[in-house]
Amino acid sequence: MIDFWNKRYIEEAFSYGIFPNVFFKQELDKLMPKSVLLPAEGEGRNAVYALRKGWDVTAFDFSSQAKKKAVRLAKSQRVRINYDVVSVLDFNTDKKFDVLGLCYAHFPASIRARANQHLLQFLKPNGLVIFEAFSKAQSDKSSGGPKSEEMLYSIEEVKEEFKGLAFDVLEETEIVLKEGIYHQGEASVIRFLGSKKLWTKKAYIK
């Protein structure tokens, strides 16, 4: 899979454009700039936008070509990007983040649930997850996304894989994508806003 993404990102054009994801931008703009973690960040469009808005950004992807494109985009926007090349389950840091941004982070089905729980450990108590990914219904559409239905999401899978979150918004919706070359046209997505619950000792009493 890493070869696929390196080949895609080595292309001159930005595969998913240089502007942030609409839902990510909409929700980030409501918040005071703090710290945000952006896994599977690809060519850096969301990271660069957050940096320009004053956020403390940590981004990573397992594609070295993705990082090169992200650095290029950051330089063009006169910001400096903190970007690691690492696989999701190997990512580690002592830092805790106010926001976790997951935009089309379709990890392989064999590790996806474990990867999502792994990422939640880096979120502060009451921290926010901003999430958008393709739903199961996307398999019939040509606007982008994995071809394997196992890598697409259902509402039930989101609830199961993001245990520990209180969902402020959780919906499956139809949108029109206009993101670079590979996200174009009518799409079915799942979006959510979830905050990390503060557990008390009472919460564990059965």
Q: What is the pLDDT of residues 99-154, one digit of tens each?
A: 999 999 999 999 999 999 999 999 999 999 999 999 999 999 999 999 899 999 99
Integer Cα distance of 111 and 189 in angstroms: 21
The helix/strand/coil state of 60 is strand
pLDDT at 1: 83
pLDDT at 200: 41
Token couple for 101: 């941004």
Q: What is the pLDDT of residues 60-78, one digit of tens each?
A: 999 999 999 999 999 999 9
Token couple for 51: 């940096």
pLDDT at 206: 29
List the domain range (segments joined by +) for residue 12. 2-204
Token couple for 97: 């983040």
Average pLDDT over residues 175-191: 97
The CATH number linked to 90 is: 3.40.50.150
Spell out a b/e string for 21-50, using b for 16 or more CB atoms within 10 Å of the CB, else e: bebbbebbeeeeeebbbbbbbbbbbbbbbb
Q: What is the pLDDT of residues 9-62, one digit of tens each?
A: 999 999 999 999 999 999 999 999 999 999 999 999 999 999 999 999 999 999
pLDDT at 15: 97
The helix/strand/coil state of 90 is helix
Q: Is the pLDDT of residue 91 over 60?
A: yes
Least Cα distance to 61 among 97, 37, 26 occurs for: 37
The number of folded domains in the chain is 1
* HEC secondary structure over 101-142: EEECCCCCCCCHHHHHHHHHCCEEEEEEEEEEEEEHHHHHCC
